[in-house]
Amino acid sequence: MHVVITLFVIFSVWRWGDWRNWKKYHTVMLYFAIGNLTYNFLTASYFLWRLDSDFLSNHTLTEMLYTFIVFPGCALLFVGNYPTGKVKVLRHYVWWITIFVAIEWIMSLTSHIDYQYGWSLAWSAGFDIFMFPMLWLFYKRPLIAYIISVPIAFFFIWYFDVPVHLPVEQR
């Protein structure tokens, strides 16, 4: 399933994305990728959700597909096709949130994602409601988005009691 999603994102970026102007969206693509890398780093021994690989060899390769292809591709599609007008903008957000929640719901039904430590599809949907406006904010005002991202991350770490350990100096 994850490979199919990856291939569909590649096709979608080719078909509907502003990939010729990818440099305009490069920082948003990196912001999305870095967010996923940070999640994987901070929760390496305490995943709130975990993507189960299909015919890929392991979780790491599956996460690499999402980090380096799926999420940056989605960022390019989301920001590159951002409409004007309040109704169109609202519809754009609803469309993207619905896509992400629907795909994750299908993944949960087919055992391609596992939830742990109190995380659920409802939490993912709530996160998506914050995530897409943050992508747009990052595109327009990256410093503000970084500043807002920190307390959001701390909230999730605190609320889900993610054990983040500072490295101990080796002697």
Instruction: Tell the residue number behind the tokens 């087919």, with chain if given.
Output: 110
87 belongs to a structural domain = yes
pLDDT value for 56 = 67
164 belongs to a structural domain = no
Token duo for residue 30: 């990196």
167 belongs to a structural domain = no
For residue 64, the enclosing domain spans: 2-18+25-42+50-159
166 belongs to a structural domain = no
169 belongs to a structural domain = no
Count of structural domains within the chain: 1
108 belongs to a structural domain = yes
- Look up residue 136 and give its DSSP letter: H
The 10s digit of each residue's pLDDT in 102-160 is 999 999 999 999 999 999 999 999 999 999 999 999 999 999 999 999 999 999 999 99
What does pTM read for this prediction?
Answer: 0.91
165 belongs to a structural domain = no
CA dist., res. 77 & res. 81, Å (int): 6
DSSP letter string, 5-51: HHHHHHHHHHHHS-GGGHHHHHHHHHHHHHHHHHHHHHTTTS-SEEE
